[in-house]
Amino acid sequence: MFKKLINMFSGNNNEKLISCINNNAFLVDVRTPAEFVENHVKGSINIPLNEVGNQLQKFRNHNSIVVFCRSGNRSEQAKAILEQHGFTNVINGGTWQNVKTLKNESEK
């Protein structure tokens, strides 16, 4: 089933993403609070893109960090911000739906 999921999504980091999710990655939704409230990944936290640079302490001491949003654009920006501040363990999970699907599948 995982192979089908991997092939369904165009994000080329899904194998690494699945591994990180299975190992309790820090899941961060960088959409707005309104988008997050509407629907989100269970176990994720909301740190909107415009707050990432001011919330760096929340990202510390995690083995892996997965950032995601509606389309993958804001999460790519969040990944770049984190990398500029020395974080090397960040993955752009793409869309929140992609992360949710992979997380749900890994919990089965």
Q: Could you tell me if residue 100 is inside a domain?
A: yes
Question: Which position among 17, 52, 69, 90 bears the catalytic label?
Answer: 69
DSSP structure string for 26-73:
EEEE-S-HHHHHHS--TT-EE--GGGGGG-GGGGTT-S-EEEEESSSH
Q: HSE-up of 40 (CA within 13 Å, CB side)?
A: 21
Each residue's pLDDT, cut to its tens digit, for the chain (108 residues) gives: 344 343 444 444 688 999 999 999 999 999 999 999 999 999 999 999 999 999 999 999 999 999 999 999 999 999 999 999 999 999 999 999 999 999 998 887
Q: Could you tell me if residue 2 is inside a domain?
A: no
Q: Could you tell me if residue 49 is inside a domain?
A: yes
Q: How many domains does the chain have?
A: 1
Cα 13 to Cα 21, 48, 54, 70: the distances in Å are 12, 22, 27, 17
20 an active-site residue? Answer: no
Domain range for 88: 14-107
Domain of 88: which CATH number? 3.40.250.10
Give the type of residue at 103: K
Q: Could you tell me if residue 9 is inside a domain?
A: no
